[in-house]
Amino acid sequence: MEPQFCLLCGARLTKIQIESHLHFECSKCDYIHWLNSRPCVDAIIAREGAILFTQRGVEPHKGDWDLPGGFLELGEAPIAGLHREIAEELGARIEILKFIGHYVDGYGDDPYIKTLNCSYLCKLLSPVRFTDDDVVGYDWFPVDNLPPNIAFAHFKKVFEDCYEDIVAAS
Q: Is 9 near Zn ion (CB under 5 A)?
A: yes
Stretch that binds Zn ion, among 24-32, 95-103, 113-121, 147-155 (CB under 5 A): 24-32
Cβ nearer to Zn ion, comparing 10 with 63: 10
C-alpha distances in angstroms, 149 versus 33, 104, 119, 152, 154? Answer: 34, 19, 20, 9, 13
- Judged on CB neighbours under 10 Å (0-12, 13-18, 19+), 2 is exposed
Stretch that binds Zn ion, among 5-13, 14-22, 150-158, 159-167 (CB under 5 A): 5-13
Smallest gap from Cβ 33 to Zn ion, in A, equals 9
Residues in the chain: 170
Strand partners, 135: 56
Q: Is 122 near Zn ion (CB under 5 A)?
A: no
Smallest gap from Cβ 32 to Zn ion, in A, equals 10
Q: CA-to-CA distance for 154 and 100, rounded, in angstroms?
A: 12
Q: Which amino acid is at 91?
A: G
Q: Is 8 near Zn ion (CB under 5 A)?
A: yes
Q: Which of 16, 18, 22, 29 binds Zn ion (CB under 5 A)?
A: 29
Stretch that binds Zn ion, among 16-24, 30-38, 49-57, 115-123 (CB under 5 A): 30-38
Q: CA-to-CA distance for 132 and 101, rounded, in angstroms?
A: 27
Cβ nearer to Zn ion, comparing 13 with 94: 13
Q: CA-to-CA distance for 134 and 68, rounded, in angstroms?
A: 10
Question: Closest Cα to residue 138, out of 150, 146, 130, 148?
Answer: 130
Q: Is 13 near Zn ion (CB under 5 A)?
A: no
Stretch that binds Zn ion, among 2-10, 33-41, 49-57, 94-102 (CB under 5 A): 2-10
Under the rule (CB under 5 A), what is the footprint of Zn ion? Answer: 6, 8-9, 11, 26, 28-29, 31
